[in-house]
A = this chain, B = another copy of it.
Amino acid sequence: METYMEMLTRRAKEASVEAAKLGTADKNRGLLSVADELTAQQDMILEANEKDLEAAKQKGVKQSLIDRLALSEKRIGDMAEGLRQIAALDDPVGEVLYMKTRPNGLRIGQKRVPLGVVGIIYESRPNVTADAFGLCFKTGNAVILRGGSDAIHSNQAIVHAIKAGLRKERLCQDLIVLVEDTSREIVSEMMKMHGRIDVLIPRGGAGLIANVVANSTVPVIETGTGNCHIYVDETADVRMAADIIENAKTQRMGVCNACESLVIHSGIAAEVLPAIVQKLKNHDVEIRGDERAQALSDQIEPAVEADWGTEYLDAVISVKIVDSIDEAIGHINKYNTGHSESIITRDYDNALKFQDEIDAAAVYVNASTRFTDGFEFGFGAEIGISTQKLHARGPMGLEALTTTKYIIFGNGQVRK
């Protein structure tokens, strides 16, 4: 007997075969139809969302989660607009990356093709449902979604509208499959669907991601956590350093590319730290430093070892004083999560050294870490930010949802 998850993944796999055959025009028609349907069915979606909000309030969940969960006409309009923007992007599928002729006359090319079935495990943001569908569908994949139990009614409603939009264009309903079982067991089963799901992308907090990485037999793309550093080199422009740090810490606190830790060269610390402290204190940021940092400002609390490795996602930052760029690089490579790191410097050699030696997805010179994002990088869309090294690293646009196949044209070649 087929289990519920086997049934869902079988349907998604079958749909993915159809999805791979769709031309760009078909896919764009589908996206626009789904966008229209989301707007047309917004009352139904808001009503379902109300149920989730009610339940969440009764459970006494915290306000930040309620904020993520809550939909509005504007948010539904944004989801629809997102799908229209995806329709306007170039379709990466079908591109032949190169083709060459071998000495034996074989023409060997490498062609971009869909991954197949993409699984997304996420928490309570219902907008991920429409977003993930749009990106996967544009790249010729079927998507199987397992959202948080807190958002189940909202997700059911959004998926209902998406399927209606697909139906109107006579496209396969199973291009989007929602896991409606909200138990934890079903997530464990989903992670074991090797061969039935081609890639699993967890989107959410560090706990969710660690669970998927530890337990999945399906290949995983790790996203998200960012313990991002800014290193202020001895030759930094003081005002630039303070402005960039203010931006990277405070422009949006709860995001993965926000700055969580400062590393400052001892030769400039006395000059630059007061300017930085003032900027951060204007935003009520708590600053935790080592002893040398504390000695330079009475507004710095003591840092403990755990501070160096913590992604606060909050109004807290740590400060470490170092005596050389090598010490700075060593510290950052020890504690970072492979996300985004920046150096503020006027020294040419140190700029290149930092970029060469820091092990992270995005390494900046004289800019805020907040730019690590598919839209800021010019990809037009983003399915997440990979902090792993395989397949995709950094912001992932449409191409990250594709793979390649070798296509070989012969006329009777056999191997000698």
Contact = CB atoms under 8 A, between A and B. Distances in A.
Most chain B CB atoms below 10 A, which of A360, A364, A391, A405: A405
Q: Is the interface of A mostly helix, strand, loop or mixed?
A: mixed
A251 B414 contact: yes
Given A219-B220, A367-B412, A377 B406 contact: yes
A363 B408 contact: yes
Nearest to A409: B365
Interface stretch (A121-129, A159-167, A240-248): A240-248
Most chain B CB atoms below 10 A, which of A247, A367, A376, A388: A367
Interface string A377-415: 110000000001111011100000001111111111111
B355 A17 contact: no
B357 A412 contact: no
B415 A403 contact: no
In the A-B complex, the 7 residue pairs with the smallest Cβ-Cβ separation, listed nearest first, are A367-B410, A247-B414, A370-B415, A389-B403, A391-B391, A390-B391, A362-B406
A409 B415 CA distance: 49
A414 B413 CA distance: 57
A106 interface: yes
A371 B244 CA distance: 53
Interface of A: 17, 20-21, 100, 102, 106, 108, 115-116, 194, 198-199, 213-214, 217, 219-221, 237, 240, 243-244, 246-248, 251, 333, 351, 355-357, 359-368, 370-372, 376-378, 388-391, 393-395, 403-415
Contacts of A411: 366-367
A103 B398 CA distance: 21
A198 B391 CA distance: 12
